[in-house]
Amino acid sequence: MRSRPTAILDVDLDALAANYALLVRIAAPANVAGVVKADAYGLGAAQVARRLAWEGCGSFFVANAAEGVALRPHVPEATIYSLGGLPPGASADCVNHDLVPVLNSVEDVRSWLAEAPGRPAAIQLDTGMTRAGLDAGDLDRLAVEGVPLERLSLVLVLTHFACADEPAHPLNARQVEVFDRLRRRLPAAATSIANSAGTLLGPGYRGDLVRTGIALYGGRPAAAGPNPMREVVRLRARVLQLRDVDDDVTVGYGATHRVRAPARIAIVGAGYADGYPRSLGGRGHASVAGRHVPVIGRVSMDVVTLDVTSVPRDELRVGDWVSLLGGGVPIDALAEAAGTIAYELLTRIGPRVERRYAGAVDGAAFPRTSTD
Ligand SMILES: *Cc1c(COP(=O)(O)O)cnc(C)c1O
């Protein structure tokens, strides 16, 4: 018999579809692209992109050409943009797998014109993030060096916000101003400005295509306030052992936590190797049989320890599941307790954790009934 998994990441594709539909309503008339870099933030790029394509999503963004090559067979009709520019070898991948590279530098523009003349490309403008993209000085250089921009088949001009999750931050409006000024120096093309948080800033902040990642996956798009997105992800782990504490003891490495008897503790089967942050030792909470219980002691590589004294004995047995993330443990609150953000929590869920999908991946795999 195959041994049972001790940790599972449940991905609710119907909730993903609902989040996509909400973003489509908010962003209209702009279109909504799915950002599926880093294996769709750890959820599984193939399943996520196929479901989004089935829901009508026609554009996807990946981090680099290798991710685009892997994604292509799953969404044969879609436009796939590769955010990472053109490091050596990327041009050939983009040409051979019909990816649209996002050109991030003068060198990228030159390479694409030389290696793939006439093929569609996107350009990223750096308007205040100071990361990837061309700034005013780079556009000057292109002009001085006589790079024939008119030969570029430019399909999208984009920029990226630095502070979109803080709606009142003055940099947001300034970046849009700079973007409008710089893009006039390029051939006319559709525009893309906003990530998830930017999409909620208002119509002036979106352009023609918004690039949504974290909101699709259920993270709160803004730094504060209620989360309008549906929960998509749940990390659950099995109770491996229950212990009754009859005398005061310390728990785990470093003996950092003292348990006062009488108490009951549960050892559950996910640890920092599975992406449950070590920083949650003594700070995290899990949901056990509908109750909020604390993580005690240090998080180990393979297990965490919970104080389940508050859970009635007959409601928790060895082999039962508890929720470590989602399922009563909101992702943004957990990220804050861990001193990080939802993006990092999701992308660090380890390969040992089995992914399980609820809801159809797409029409081909699971025919829908007319009542869907
Ligand atoms: C990751 C990324 C996004 C998606 O951001 P979210 O905040 O997850 O919506 C959009 N644009 C670029 C350039 C990115 O790198």
Per-residue confidence of the chain (372 residues) as pLDDT tens digits? 678 899 999 999 999 999 999 999 999 999 999 999 999 999 999 999 999 999 999 999 999 999 999 999 999 999 999 999 999 999 999 999 999 999 999 999 999 999 999 999 999 999 988 888 999 999 999 999 999 999 999 999 999 999 988 889 999 999 999 999 999 999 999 999 999 999 999 999 999 999 999 999 999 988 788 899 999 999 999 999 999 998 888 887 888 888 888 999 999 999 999 999 999 999 999 999 999 999 999 999 999 999 999 999 999 999 999 999 999 999 999 999 999 999 999 999 999 999 999 998 876 554 444 333
User: Ligand 1 pocket: which of 195, 206, 220, 341 to mutate (most atoms <8 Å of CB)?
Assistant: 195
Query: What's the N-to-C CA distance of the chain in angstroms?
Result: 36
Side-chain-side CA neighbours of residue 357 (13 Å): 19
What is the amino acid identity at position 208? D
Q: What are phi and psi of 287, to 5 degrees?
A: -110, 120
- Cα(25)–Cα(210) distance, integer angstroms: 12
What is the amino acid identity at position 63? A
What the block records as the tokens of 200 is 């909620």
Predicted TM-score of the model (pTM): 0.94
- Cα(59)–Cα(122) distance, integer angstroms: 13
Q: Does the beta carbon of 211 sit less than 6 angstroms from any atom of ligand 1?
A: yes
Q: Does the beta carbon of 83 sit less than 6 angstroms from any atom of ligand 1?
A: yes
Q: Does the beta carbon of 196 sit less than 6 angstroms from any atom of ligand 1?
A: yes
In the reported structure, the alpha carbon of residue 125 is separated from the centroid of ligand 1 by a whole-number distance in angstroms of 15
